[in-house]
Amino acid sequence: MRITVMTADEQIVSLDVDPHETVENLKALLEVETNVPLQQQQLLYHGREMQNSEKLSALGVKDDDLIMMVSGAGSRAPTNDLSFNPDGSAVNPGAFQQHIRSDSNLIGQIFQADPELAQAILGNDLNKLQGILRTRHRQRSELRQKEEEELALLQADPFDVEAQRKIEAAIRQKGIDENWAAALEHNPEGFARVVMLYVDMEVNGVPLKAFIDSGAQSTIISKSCAERCGLLRLLDQRYKGIAHGVGQSEILGRIHVAPIKIGNIFYPCSFVVLDSPNMEFLFGLDMLRKHQCIIDLKENVLRVGGGEVSVPFLPEKDIPSHYLDEERNLKQASSSGAAMTTKTTEKNANVQSGGQPSGGAYADVTRRPGFEAKVAKLVELGFAREMVIEALKLCDGNEEQAAGILFGG
């Protein structure tokens, strides 16, 4: 391969060398070309000093690469100031930075090969520069180690089971790396954080930023938010239970109906109240279905009432930072597809639905004559079968009461 060496006095030397040549042999060739003794030469590649025992290929030197040579007579800084510590950082980062800055050609080379390092050299943060130099040194060391391991595997006994297992793992990892590189090139947005869907709403006249979650079974409001909206006085504690999902939260009860304002139109909405300090308001699948909502990601809007109202999803800058931090907790509270298990206490069982028993007696409702006909009738109204069955269980098979619950009445 052919490399170019630039000396401190801006002399340019082109050499044809073998990629596996050592740095010491390269210096010997340069001694003939430049008359600079081998012992006085210091070679820099991408800002890093090349040690005599290292091979050019191991350092990553490729065809048409540029190498800087500094000598004791022509260096703008003492040789020791331009040397590197074992961890890859510069012994004198200030002198190293000034030396590189003074060479426009070298800066251009570094900008093409490593823009982040070039920006650090041109910046004023020496700690950042040292950190990048350490990182590059570590990356080179890991690359060399990986190459040595791959070479060792290729030379291993083909009947060695452990060696074959490592070769298989290396091939699999290579496929993963290639897939990752392809994704970076063709699908870079896949590595970006996805901002969840929020819209502006008013609940009982109080402005809120509602988290739209079609994977949550029920619309959820926290106890603190319900209190702020003046709705806690309507909490029906007969609907206590546990919300099961990724985690679980205590259901304090249910608010059967309250007005929410989306755009300029008011809609009735029912809420499950959770004792969860890590969430505020979640607009779930029950109300999305009831109000015929459409999540339009092409236009980035939520359409309500079959399209009579459209409200835009909020950009990330308009979402409070603590909302973004708490999205994980929202999912734990609601969890996509979370099951809401509601149990009535013995004290309130008779009040709830004309003396219906609580607990295991719910299961007997599904075996009663006409139960499937009631389910089919309510499903025709647009409700999910599971929600209809749960509502009929809660109402001891009373179709009208179940319909009232499903409609949020």
Query: What residues act catalytically?
Result: 213
Q: What is the 3-state secondary structure (H, E, C) of the chain?
A: CEEEEEECCCCEEEEECCCCCEHHHHHHHHHHHHCCCHHHEEEEECCEECCCCCECCCCCCCCCCEEEEEECCCCCCCHHHHCECCCCCECCHHHHHHHHHCCHHHHHHHHHHCHHHHHHHHCCCHHHHHHHHHHHHHHHHHHHHHHHHHHHHHCCCCCCHHHHHHHHHHHHHHHHHHHHHHHHHHCHHHHCCCCCCEEEEEECCEEEEEEECCCCCCCEEEHHHHHHCCCHHHCEHHHCEEEECCCEEEEEEEEEEEEEEECCEEEEEEEEEECCCCCCEEECHHHHHHCCCEEECCCCEEEECCCCEEEECCCHHHCCHHHHHCHHHHHHHHCCCCEEEECCCHHHHHHHCCCCCCHHHHHHHCCCCCHHHHHHHHHCCCCCHHHHHHHHHHCCCCHHHHHHHHCCC
